[in-house]
Structure 1
Amino acid sequence: MKTEGGSREAKRRAGERAAEEIDDGDVVGLGTGSTAAHAIRAIGRAVDDGLTVRGIPTSFQSRQLALEVGIPLSCLDAVDGIDIAIDGADQIADDPDASGFGALVKGGGGAQTREKLVDSAADRFVVVADPSKLSETLEQSVPLEVLPDAHALVADEIRRIGGEPTLRDATHKDGPVVTDNGNLLLDCAFGEIDAPDELATRLSSVPGVVEHGLFVGMADAAYVGTDEGVEMREY
């Protein structure tokens, strides 16, 4: 079951604590979402104080915030590697006795493709979250970025393997959400995901799927902010 929580203060603590891991000269992956935004703001303040970094944003949203707070930006093609990526999660598998411990569901903001590119390229990938994102077993819908012409075929395949796909609709305009890459999003409910690694492999093999929101075996650590402090998990 998912734990309750999710206060702004808890998110702030998690983001700011993760930002303390950054060293002078680092190339930093800048995640997407409300908790990662606190890390970006903390990095901006450190840059104002003299820290030298280059940021690699994972979305238009994180790029705009980084520019606003004064973080110098680069791109994957222009760097030799990423020292650390700090990113949020929609849900984290939090049972240390389960094989999927530390697996994530991401993509609530529709940026999972670039997030996965940046996070996988980092020497260290740190997740920032509040307690509401913790769950013994992943059970949240998995976002899939799909080619527009393939969304119906992908949806049929998802139903065939036991999922229930829903095309994500935009909230401020008619029609579906379109990603930064010009693709569509299917939110796919599978119930409890007992073997996230197996499902991740299955989803990656579906033609028309650009990327999915299961991040398995990628996170090195998580900072979970609470109203009292920050808890750290190593994976």
Structure 2
Amino acid sequence: MSKSAPSSPPWAETAKFAAAQEALKYVPASMSIGLGTGSTSSLFIQLLAEHARKNNLQLKCTATSKKSEELAKSLGLNVVELGQLDSIDLAVDGADQVDSRRRLIKGYGGAHTREKVVEYATKRLLIISDHSKKSKKLDKPVPVEFLPFAQKRVEEGLKSLGAKDVQLRKNADGTPFSTDNGFFMFHADFGEIKNPKKLEEQINGIEGVLENGLFAKRPADLVIFGQADGSAKTMGN
């Protein structure tokens, strides 16, 4: 995991922008909104800030990472702590894989724990992504955030659940990647995940695990897939 991610195909930015722009249609004049983390979420935050200024929207935003919080504040959005909100009307975030039942694998941006806290509490979860993230099944490696002290125990626990390969995520210089929470992260490859909800619960049952990137207990309500031609297609409601 120390290698940098491969460059995106030429159409990817167009598709991400299309999804982020389409998501603005679901933001009313006044609401509380959870802001996701990642490249597509960053595009949405930028568009949301401009949309809010032009239309004088009354928004209260809570962010799922320090990076998203800093970006939102720099653009003039009203960002508050999660505990200051009585409820979250809408959360908008990206995903690394979306299956036909709108279950997700998330966390390649390293923020899935805070994302899950916000997105399992929201009244409506809207996922924005380019169309390449759509899949009939979930089979990408699952990010697992864990206490560094428990690294060996967590690795053994993941393998006992069927992980074929468990890789410690690292920075470019070879040091362990650290999340906003100060924890380390594994990417655990289970191949095709037959029962995502069960595996989500089992991984979280391993001593030392903080949270994992399976979002199966609470699938997305609506997914917007940006297309290479700049259009957008939706799944869900």
TM value normalised by structure 1: 0.92
Give the Cα separation in 2 of the matches to 1:218 and 1:26: 21
Residue 159 of structure 1 aligns to a residue in which SS?
A: helix
Cα contact 1:47–1:70 (8 A) shared by 2: no
1:6-34 residue CA offsets vs partner (Å, 9 max, x unmatched): 61011001011112211122111000111
In structure 1, the partner of 2:3 is: none
Query: How big is the shift at 1:174?
Result: 3.9
Q: Aligned residue for 2:235?
A: 233
1:36-90 Cα shifts (integer Å, max 9, x gaps): 1121111100221111101101011111211122111001111101110000000
Structure 2 residue 44 is matched with structure 1 residue 24: no
**Per-residue deviation, 1:143:** 0.3
Residue 4 (structure 2) aligns with: none
Question: Aligned partners of 2:137 and 2:113: how far apart in 1?
Answer: 23
Q: Pick which of 65-74 and 102-111 moved more.
A: 65-74
Counterpart secondary structure, 1:222 = strand
- Counterpart of 2:47 in 1: which secondary structure? helix
Match of 2:177, SS state, is coil
Task: Compare 16-25 and 144-153 and name the one that shifted more.
Answer: 16-25
Q: Which amino acid aligns with 2:14?
A: E
- Distance in 1 of aligned mates of 2:214 and 2:174: 28
Helix, strand or coil for the counterpart of 1:26? Answer: strand
Return the alpha-carbon distance in structure 2 between the equivalents of residues 121 and 6 of structure 1. 33
CA shift digits 1:184-233 (9 cap, x unpaired): 00100001112111111211211111000000133101000102311010
> What SS class does the counterpart of residue 12 from structure 1 fall into?
helix
Give the Cα–Cα distance (whole angstroms) in 2 for the partners of residues 21 and 27 of structure 1.
12
| Structure-1 residue corresponding to 2:171 | 170
- Percent identical among aligned pairs is 34
Whole-angstrom distance in 2 between the partners of 1:22 and 1:119 = 16
Match of 1:58 among 64, 73, 86: 64
> Displaced runs of 4+ in structure 1, greater than 2 A?
none
On the 8 A contact 2:105/2:214 being kept in 1, the answer is yes
Structure 2 gap ranges (5+): 1-8
2:84 aligned partner: 78
CA offsets 1:112-147 (integer angstroms, 9 cap, x no match): 000000111111000000111111111100000001
RMSD: 1.4
Alignment of 1:31-42 (within 5 A): 31-42=36-47
Give yes or no for contact 2:60–2:80 (8 Å, CA) kept in 1. yes
Give TM-score scaled by structure 2 length.
0.91
Q: Which amino acid aligns with 1:18?
A: A
In 2, Cα distance between equivalents of 1:52 and 1:168? 39
Q: What is the count of residue pairs matched by the alignment?
A: 225
Instruction: Indicate yes or no: 2:19 matched with 1:14.
Output: yes
**In 2, are the aligned partners of 1:125 and 1:219 still within 8 Å (CA)?**
yes
- List alignment gaps of at least 5 residues for structure 1: 95-100
